């Protein structure tokens, strides 16, 4: 690894806030310090402060690994050996079983350039329809709801700094005090003004700062949204002029909400009717107000309907597309926005176009130099893709880039079994993740400080993350790997560039005219420090920091109310599994934990799984604070340390999902899918608690 020669302005490799920082030479690595920037204002969380540690961690992958046979351990091999083997296996499987015998699984943390080239590689070099990514587990419900309501999905259709001036903010299913701490700087002013409303089943550090905390039973958010809409209507808070001029469909949505008066909602959600009215008055009476949603209300079997219900409330109050007010979704992964815009999603082409749109297919095919008829159609969504692995009609090989589904996918033990059924599993990663450890071939790739590339943060702002040092000698970039495989599969070398700037130039052309139009963005403009929020349809265009001010993206310019109704949990509790399990994150770890679990400082703060439970519930299970518990669902069991918290609801338990092996929360979660977004139900399943000494009850499904 070469030494950096000068400090570089770059961005944090973790969440979608994309905090700005400076990377300064420090021996074989870099030291990071926060940089003044609108999103983080000179602050970093502890993950950002320690983000350079994985660059030189002993757990870092530094050479390709492969198994000489399925039952043998991984062994170091050369790059030519690894790539030749992968290409030969892919060719064989495609000849024997067709192009869909090979699948690709991407990630919401990889750069725009990688996401773009990964989608192109799947559809052109492999000819497969079987590609999706872990963002399906993150943002898909919000994206589906946003597209239905507004005709376009951009997480925050306004700069995050607009929140500073808000009089009221309704924050649904988000805990930024732990998941993106610098974001709290934008909420603190509204909290100090008494206008922060937090909806969360747990009394989180974010909820502690709220003027009003509504604590519904997990899975009942939609009923609560209907109750708040009912309260807004009954108290005369609906912006009738806005609704008449800028929306359509309120009457149909109200026919559902009319049956959800707050007292009925209280019986379903546990949230007092008086608090529902208070929340509606705080939000509806504010001059500048926002509704923000996040994973807690999205990761459900009806997550897209839940988000639609919150959007309906925002529309009734006249917030979206208005200066100083709005609706937005807090994107989670570092490139969660850009990662879903440029083609690694099962039904998507670059520029946020639909794969089944003939016009989009023709334009992108022209940029790629192929016949539109050669492009495959939409494939399976993420969980459906993983569930199909190794089956007669499913992929027999899987290439994984920037994801760790052994930890992050629901019903994780089943997913691990499907991975084991493959003829070939290839994982490109920076560490030997839980998924890489069961692969046939593992490819070591560059980290954030070792490559250039663009990211699109939660505001839709495109950022240039700049290279600060060279990677170790035997580590390659993902673009280089895709190039090497594509050439071995018979593609012309020029079709798969290895330089990020060259890939971005092609991305610009492929996105031109699409909803997420990057054609006016260039590395030169980004290096010059321009704040470029997509769409940027021309080189002289200043970007679009605030969307929908004049019209929404539907042909008639109006936003859509979407009638949605509450239904019970996909998996109800019963005598055997009497508790509601919900999952989430903690401050000191990130996503599947593959990298953050290698950082001693973060492990010292949160090095093992814990289960949050009310003290009385723990006592009934024969448990007390600090004991090791066995948490069970109908799909599996895991181990976690008991943490008794008096603010927890009696029938609710909480698990963080960052941990591995027997501490995987997703051994328990339910893979039932949202009918629109195909999001699994991460936030609600039936569970029970026992002492860790209690015997296992045999096989789980």
pLDDT value for 696: 57
Question: Please, what CATH class does the domain formed by 8-55 belong to?
Answer: mainly beta
DSSP H helices in 112-220:
112-120, 140-150, 176-179, 184-192
Query: For 327-352, what is each residue's pLDDT tens digit?
Result: 999 998 999 999 999 999 999 999 99
Q: What are the tokens at 169?
A: 């903010």
Give the whole-angstrom CA distance, residue 653 versus residue 644.
Answer: 10
Count how many Cα atoms sit within 13 Å of the Cα of residue 561 in the half-sphere of its side chain.
Answer: 26
pLDDT value for 680: 97
pLDDT at 6 over 90: no
Query: For 489-545, what is each residue's pLDDT tens digit?
Result: 999 999 999 999 999 999 999 999 999 999 999 999 999 999 999 999 999 999 999
What phi, psi does 139 have (nearest 5°)?
Answer: -110, 0
pLDDT value for 28: 85
pLDDT value for 139: 87
Query: For 230-248, what is each residue's pLDDT tens digit?
Result: 999 999 999 999 999 999 9
pLDDT value for 659: 96
Query: For 399-428, what is each residue's pLDDT tens digit?
Result: 999 999 999 999 999 999 999 999 999 999
What average pLDDT does the segment 454-463 reach? 97
- Look at residue 291 and give its three-state secondary structure: strand
Give the whole-angstrom CA distance, residue 664 versus residue 684.
Answer: 16
What average pLDDT does the segment 614-626 reach? 97
Task: Kindly give, in sequence order, each residue whose CB lies less than 8 Å from that of residue 359, ignoring residues fewer than 6 positions away.
Answer: none
* Helix %, strand %, coil % of the chain (to 5): 35, 20, 45
Give the whole-angstrom CA distance, residue 497 versus residue 489.
Answer: 15
Q: What are the tokens at 408?
A: 């992050």
β-pairing verdict for 29-34 and 212-214: unpaired
pLDDT value for 440: 98
Give the whole-angstrom CA distance, residue 561 versus residue 313.
Answer: 9
pLDDT at 1 over 70: no
Task: Kindly give, in sequence order, each residue whose CB lies less than 8 Å from that of residue 231, ignoring residues fewer than 6 positions away.
Answer: 237, 262, 276, 277, 279, 280, 281
What average pLDDT does the segment 477-486 reach? 98
Give the whole-angstrom CA distance, residue 231 versus residue 227.
Answer: 6
What DSSP designation does 604 have?
A: H
CATH code 3.40.228.10 region(s) in the chain: 140-329
The packing angle between helices 221-234 and 303-316, to 10°, is: 20
Question: Please, what CATH class does the domain formed by 579-691 belong to?
Answer: mainly beta
pLDDT value for 694: 58
Query: For 261-320, what is each residue's pLDDT tens digit?
Result: 999 999 999 999 999 999 999 999 999 999 999 999 999 999 999 999 999 999 999 999
What phi, psi does 63 have (nearest 5°)?
Answer: -155, 150
CATH code 2.20.25.90 region(s) in the chain: 8-55
- Look at residue 339 and give its three-state secondary structure: helix
Give the whole-angstrom CA distance, residue 198 versus residue 208.
Answer: 9
Per-chain mean pLDDT for the chain: 96
User: Hunting for tokens 């022209």 — which residue is that?
Assistant: 366
Q: What are the tokens at 446?
A: 């560059």
- Look at residue 50 and give its three-state secondary structure: coil
Give the whole-angstrom CA distance, residue 652 versus residue 688.
Answer: 10
Query: For 92-146, what is each residue's pLDDT tens digit?
Result: 999 999 999 999 999 999 999 999 999 999 999 999 999 999 999 998 999 999 9
**Where does the pLDDT of residue 695 fall: very low under 50, low under 70, confident under 90, or very high at 90 and above?**
low
First to last CA, the chain: 46
Work out the number of other CB atoms within 10 angstroms of the CB of residue 2: 11
pLDDT value for 268: 98
Q: What are the tokens at 244?
A: 């008449």
Work out the number of other CB atoms within 10 angstroms of the CB of residue 37: 18
CATH code 2.40.40.20 region(s) in the chain: 579-691
Question: Please, what CATH class does the domain formed by 65-137+335-445+477-499 belong to?
Answer: alpha beta
Give the whole-angstrom CA distance, residue 251 versus residue 255.
Answer: 6
pLDDT value for 25: 86
Query: For 178-230, what is each residue's pLDDT tens digit?
Result: 999 999 999 999 999 999 999 999 999 999 999 999 999 999 999 999 999 99
Work out the number of other CB atoms within 10 angstroms of the CB of residue 73: 7
The domain 140-329 belongs to what CATH superfamily? Dimethylsulfoxide Reductase, domain 2 (3.40.228.10)
Give the whole-angstrom CA distance, residue 659 versus residue 666.
Answer: 9
- Look at residue 51 and give its three-state secondary structure: coil
Q: Are 12 and 44 in contact (CB under 8 A)?
A: yes
The alpha carbon of 633 is separated from its chain's Cα centroid by a whole number of angstroms, namely 24
Q: Are 262 and 645 in contact (CB under 8 A)?
A: no
> Per residue in 142-167, is it b (16+ CB within 10 Å) or e — as a string?
bbbbbbbbbbbbbbbbbbbebbeebb
């Amino acid at each position: 690894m070469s030494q950096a020669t000068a400090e570089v302005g770059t961005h944090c490799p973790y969440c979608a806030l994309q905090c700005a920082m400076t990377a300064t030479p420090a021996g074989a690595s870099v030291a990071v310090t926060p940089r003044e920037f609108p999103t983080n204002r000179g602050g970093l969380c502890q993950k950002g402060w320690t983000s350079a540690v994985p660059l030189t961690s002993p757990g870092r992958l530094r050479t390709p690994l492969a198994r000489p046979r399925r039952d043998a351990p991984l062994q170091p091999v050369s790059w030519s050996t690894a790539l030749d083997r992968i290409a030969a296996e892919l060719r064989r499987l495609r000849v024997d079983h067709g192009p869909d015998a090979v699948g690709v699984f991407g990630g919401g943390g990889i750069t725009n350039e990688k996401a773009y080239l990964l989608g192109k590689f799947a559809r052109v070099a492999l000819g497969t329809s079987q590609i999706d990514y872990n963002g399906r587990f993150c943002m898909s419900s919000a994206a589906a709801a946003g597209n239905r309501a507004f005709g376009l999905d951009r997480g925050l259709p306004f700069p995050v700094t607009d929140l500073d001036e808000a009089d009221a903010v309704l924050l649904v299913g988000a805990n930024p005090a732990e998941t993106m701490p610098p974001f709290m700087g934008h909420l603190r002013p509204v909290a100090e003004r008494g206008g922060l409303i937090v909806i969360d089943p747990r009394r989180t550090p974010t909820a502690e700062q709220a003027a009003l905390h509504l604590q519904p039973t997990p899975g009942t958010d939609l009923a609560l949204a209907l109750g708040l809409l009912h309260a807004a209507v009954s108290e005369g808070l609906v912006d009738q002029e806005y609704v008449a001029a800028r929306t359509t469909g309120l009457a149909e949505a109200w026919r559902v909400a009319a049956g959800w008066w707050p007292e009925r909602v209280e019986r379903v959600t546990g949230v007092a009717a008086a608090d529902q009215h208070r929340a509606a008055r705080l939000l509806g009476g504010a001059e500048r107000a926002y509704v923000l949603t996040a994973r807690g209300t999205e990761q459900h079997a009806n997550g897209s309907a839940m988000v639609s219900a919150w959007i309906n409330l925002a529309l009734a109050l006249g917030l979206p597309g208005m200066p100083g007010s709005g609706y937005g979704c807090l994107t989670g992964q570092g490139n969660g926005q850009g990662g879903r815009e440029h083609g690694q999603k099962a039904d998507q082409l670059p520029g946020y176009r639909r794969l089944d749109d003939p016009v989009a297919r023709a334009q992108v095919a022209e940029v790629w130099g192929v016949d539109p008829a050669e492009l495959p159609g939409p494939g399976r969504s993420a969980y459906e893709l993983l569930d199909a692995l190794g089956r007669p009609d499913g992929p027999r090989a899987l290439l994984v880039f920037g994801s760790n589904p052994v930890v992050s996918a629901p019903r994780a033990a089943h997913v691990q079994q499907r991975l084991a059924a493959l003829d070939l599993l290839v994982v490109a990663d920076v560490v030997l993740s839980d998924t890489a450890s069961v692969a046939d071939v593992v490819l070591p790739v560059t980290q954030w400080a070792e490559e250039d590339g663009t990211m699109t943060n939660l505001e839709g702002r495109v950022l240039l993350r700049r290279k600060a040092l060279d990677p170790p000698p035997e580590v390659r970039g993902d673009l280089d790997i895709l190039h090497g495989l594509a050439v071995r599969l018979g593609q012309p070398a020029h079709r798969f560039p290895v330089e990020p700037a060259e890939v971005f130039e092609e991305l610009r052309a492929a996105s031109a005219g699409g909803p997420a139009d990057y054609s006016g963005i260039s590395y030169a403009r980004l290096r010059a420090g321009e704040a470029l929020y997509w769409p940027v349809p021309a080189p002289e265009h200043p970007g679009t920091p605030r969307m929908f001010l004049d019209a929404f993206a539907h042909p008639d310019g109006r936003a859509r109310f979407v009638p949605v109704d509450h239904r019970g949990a996909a998996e109800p509790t019963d005598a055997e599994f009497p508790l509601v399990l919900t999952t989430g994150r903690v401050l000191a770890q990130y996503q599947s934990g593959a990298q953050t679990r290698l950082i001693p400082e973060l492990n010292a703060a949160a090095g093992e799984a814990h289960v949050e439970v009310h003290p009385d519930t723990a006592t009934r299970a024969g448990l007390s604070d600090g004991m090791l518990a066995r948490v069970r669902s109908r799909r599996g069991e895991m181990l976690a340390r008991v943490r008794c918290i008096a603010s927890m609801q009696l029938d609710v338990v909480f698990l963080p999902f960052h941990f591995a092996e027997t501490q995987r929360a997703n051994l328990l979660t339910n893979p039932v899918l949202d009918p629109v977004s195909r999001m699994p139900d991460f936030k609600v399943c039936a569970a029970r608690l026992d002492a860790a000494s209690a015997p296992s009850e045999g096989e789980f499904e």
